[in-house]
Chains A and B, each alone.
Chain A
Amino acid sequence: MDAIVLQILNGLDKGSAYALIALGLTLIFGTLGVVNFAHGALFMIGAFCAVTLSRIINWSYTTISETEKNFLGEPLEVQVPYVHDWFGVAAGNTLIDWAVPLAILFSIPIMLAVGYIMERGLIKHFYSRPHADQILVTFGLAIVLQEVIKYFYGANPIPTPAPEVFAGSFDFGAMLGFDPNTIIYPYWRLVYFAFAAVIIGAVFAFLQFTTFGMVVRAGMADRETVGLLGINIDKRFTIMFGIAAAVAGLAGVMYAPINSPNYHMGMDFLVLSFVVVVVGGMGSLPGAVLAGFLLGILESFASMAAVLDVLPGLNQIIIYLVAIIILLTRPRGLMGRKGVMED
């Protein structure tokens, strides 16, 4: 029983990452009808916003240590962050410690700008082109973006820890009456889950309860008619692209402490997020979120030792197996709309 509760927790946590990325991807699919292979790269850029901010806060000058030696036996150069001088050592260290949460604020304008430039500069010209061309150009863009990141940050993962207060894990077992230490979960992952819930809620609320959102939803349903009503739907779609980029970026920022960011993390998520979106059904935001959580939970169950003893290798294929079963039983995924990307 405790094992199952634990895997449900795991699934919700994994699912929240999948759902966040898939949400952004569906916004672009659904609103603009563009297959965006660079979406994983946006997620990656978000994570590197966290890395960059932490480097900026850590900006240091060099002093020569009197006592310590470096590996060549020469006096050791010690890096002292400027923030130590400006705010004192304690406050400076706190600032460094809180780099990832601060990066949320840092990343939003950057991601909005990246999304805006991408849409105006490139994607705009591809609305009427075949999906194949969209794939080629966005895939090319994804490669360029990740190679640029690799050029500046290297290929190795860069540890980007969460603030000290979130270290360690919370003991659900003790709270729910199980033995202590049976159901533990890291604080930061719980924060990630909550954060994802807030973002997803905010996007839905925005689309549901604002006039802007209403117009966008109308545009998703029937772009031509909305255009005929004299509404400048293009401008709104550009903004939606920026928002989708920001959602992907925020997912990346918060993900940085969970797995050290590296330049190819976007590609690792790309295929998976496409599967999630399609399983959810094309053009359906709730579908994407639902599929994200569903696949997250099933993936977690498939990784249990007891399951693998019976079906070795199930953890390797579970996502794809579920995708095949769902797409064969429900032609348009869980909640897909008819006629979206069906030809």
Chain B
Amino acid sequence: MLGLAKKDFTLLAVVVGLTLLAPFILNPFPEGSGMAQFNAGYPDLMQRFVIFGIFAIGFNILFGLTGYLSFGHAAFLGVGSYAAIWMMKLVTTNVIPAMILAIIVAGAFALLVGFITLRRSGIYFSILTLAFAQMSYALAYSVLTPITGGETGLQLKLNDPRILDSALVGGDQARANLFGVNMSSSYEMSVGGWLFTFNAGYYIAAIVMILAFYMAIRIFRSPFGLMLRAVKSNQQRMNFTGLNSRPYTLAAFVISGMYAGLAGGLMVAMDTQVGPERMFWTASGEVVLMTILGGAGTLIGPVLGAGMIKYMENIISKINSTILHQWFAWMPDGLEDFVVAVIYPFIGKGWHLTLGIIFMLVVIFLPGGLVEGGQRIAGLFRRKKTADETSTTPAE
């Protein structure tokens, strides 16, 4: 169906189901309960899950298939974001043109960077991409301030031209929209103690991610994808057979740059603001970590990795000592203080520590990333271990 093998179609269906039902799945705890702290089903975080999911899917097309480890992918995300916000400032606040321009500009930039950096391989390639990204970051932060807004970045202003849009009336704000549907508008549904939020922006981003995921499956299963895997397993042998591998790797690089640009454009569409930190090397490193954490070369892994890191960043960092005391209030005083003191270094301002420990634990015990963890759990239930036949097996 849809040109997919049955296994892939099942995977796609699962992804579609999970993304569309995310407002329910991510809000398992009733409002007002102590565990509500762990709910992630609010619009901003759900949007970030799918946006970084797209970013990681795109990164994985390059890294997972060809083995080329780019350490500068955040540059394409940043460039896409800047393109999108300028589209919104100058032409229209409709998100479609902004996203299209983001993809085009990021793709063009990726073509330029890829053309230069793919002349080298291995760590030399990584450092070249890193160098381009760091230059983009440094220039956007400083001398390009007239174009990028520098440190404070760019936002929509009341006096932007927006030639296609009608003038704002009264106290209206310029807002990102899709033919009038506001990205930040939501329906809320309350069932019992639960509250579920259905946000227009999230569903638009989710549909884009599903399309991106579908495209990724097609690329993984295409002859082109096979060619990319050949690059990973043995580029030399491939070259000896008279095939020039460079056009294939360059195409993969540009596609993955366009995915990053799409993610950048979506970020602006959901939250109309761009800052240069988006291109700093830590942001490039983050997508590498997402992909490896989830499982490089697998289809679903990068999305899981992205979700994991964003969840830690947004949920764990918000737990403070007051909340801990509330949770453990039922314990005797001395014990409560002790338990809180033990947990405290790992939450709130200590969320980095928890993240670091998880990185280490996952890579030590689950060499294939979170996907391998999932497979092991599934294996426990299924008895019959057919792990290497499932569609989520690493490429190599």
Contact = CB atoms under 8 A, between A and B. Distances in A.
A275 B134 CA distance: 11
Interface in B60-111: 63, 67, 69
Contacts of A151: 345, 350, 353
Contacts of A217: none
Interface stretch (B4-12, B158-166, B176-184, B287-295): B287-295
B138 A317 contact: yes
Given A132-B292, A317-B138, A341 B356 contact: no
Contact of B143 (A136, A148, A275, A313): A313
A129 interface: yes
B359 interface: yes
B359 A136 contact: yes
A324 B119 CA distance: 11
User: Which of B67, B127, B135, B360 is most buried by chain A, counting CB atoms within 10 A of its CB?
Assistant: B127
Interface string A236-256: 000000000000000000000
Interface in A168-190: none
A199 interface: no
B318 interface: no
Interface stretch (A10-18, A43-51, A57-65, A328-336): A328-336
Interface string A116-142: 000000100100010111011101111
A187 B127 CA distance: 35
Contacts of A125: 364
A144 B356 contact: yes
A202 B233 CA distance: 41
A74 to B, nearest CB: 27
Interface in B345-396: 345, 350, 352-353, 355-360, 362-364, 367
A197 interface: no
A125 B365 CA distance: 11
Nearest to B396: A130
Interface in A297-343: 312-313, 316-317, 319-321, 323-324, 327-328, 331-333, 341-343
B24 interface: no
A143 B359 contact: yes
What class of interface size applies to chain A in its complex with B? Answer: 35 or more
A2 to B, nearest CB: 28
Interface residues of B, number: 46
A129 B359 contact: no
Contacts of B139: 313, 316-317
Given A144-B356, A151-B345, A317-B139, A136 B292 contact: yes
A147 B120 contact: no
A147 B360 CA distance: 14
Contacts of B292: 132-133, 135-136
Contacts of B293: 136
A139 B362 CA distance: 13
Contacts of B288: 132, 135
Interface in A220-269: 267
17 contacts: A125-B364, A132-B63, A132-B288, A136-B362, A139-B289, A140-B355, A140-B360, A279-B127, A282-B123, A313-B138, A317-B135, A323-B127, A327-B127, A327-B128, A328-B120, A341-B122, A343-B67
Given A35-B123, A320-B131, 11 more contacts: A133-B363, A139-B356, A144-B356, A274-B130, A316-B138, A316-B141, A320-B132, A328-B120, A328-B128, A332-B124, A341-B122
